Amino acid sequence: MQHLTVSAIPHRNPFILQLRIYFYCLKNELDLYKLIIMKKTFASSAVLFSILVLSQSCTKQSQGELRIASPQTSVQTIQAKISSGHTYTLNLGASGNISITRQASHFQLSEMAIDKNDGSLNYKYIPAANYTGADEVSLTRTTSVTSGSNNGCSNGSQNNSSTSTIITIKINVTD
């Protein structure tokens, strides 16, 4: 960057001298901004290239691939008969995630609960007061299994599979 001296610019008119100095400074400032932008562009390109190289090195076929098996779904129907005012309990074990996917229509209590003694999941149903007739609830149990090794990469050779079981409980509430 050159230093500007007033004697280096021929001047006859002070206004023109000021304009020449202004434009000279403006040109130098623009050159500085161009240099900064070029450095940032180069640095950004280098970072993006590095990310691309690293991501490709972890997805090579030789190091494995992520394989997701299509989920397996099975359907189970349970027939239950209880007396009005009594509680129906279904022990579902301790494995997987279980949720109510379609709630019963005529209930005082219809919920998933954890057994305090053994930690298993239980579905509990108490019919609405003075209700007799048919009721139905649907539960879904999902179990996921991941196996494999990562070979130093976060997405190494893995097998992910899940199974879903739709459990429909058909409840007959009698007197």
Residue 47: phi, psi to the nearest 5? Answer: -65, -45
- At 124, give phi and psi (nearest 5°): -120, 135
Residue scoring higher pLDDT (117 or 7): 117
13 confidence band (pLDDT: 50, 70, 90): confident
**Cα–Cα distance measured from residue 124 to residue 112, given in angstroms and rounded to the nearest whole number:** 6
pLDDT reading at 129 higher than 50: yes
| DSSP codes of every residue in 89-130 | EEE--SSSEEEEEE--SSEEEEEEEE-TTT--EEEEEEEPTT
How far apart CA 110 and CA 55 sit, in angstroms, is 48
In single-letter form, the type of residue at position 142 comes to T
* pTM (whole model) above 0.75: no
Q: Which helix (H) or strand (E) holds 60?
A: none
The model's confidence at residue 154, banded by pLDDT at 50, 70 and 90, is low
* pLDDT for the residue 62: 44
Measured between alpha carbons, how far is residue 156 from residues 56, 65, 146 in Å?
12, 6, 12
pLDDT(67) > 60: no
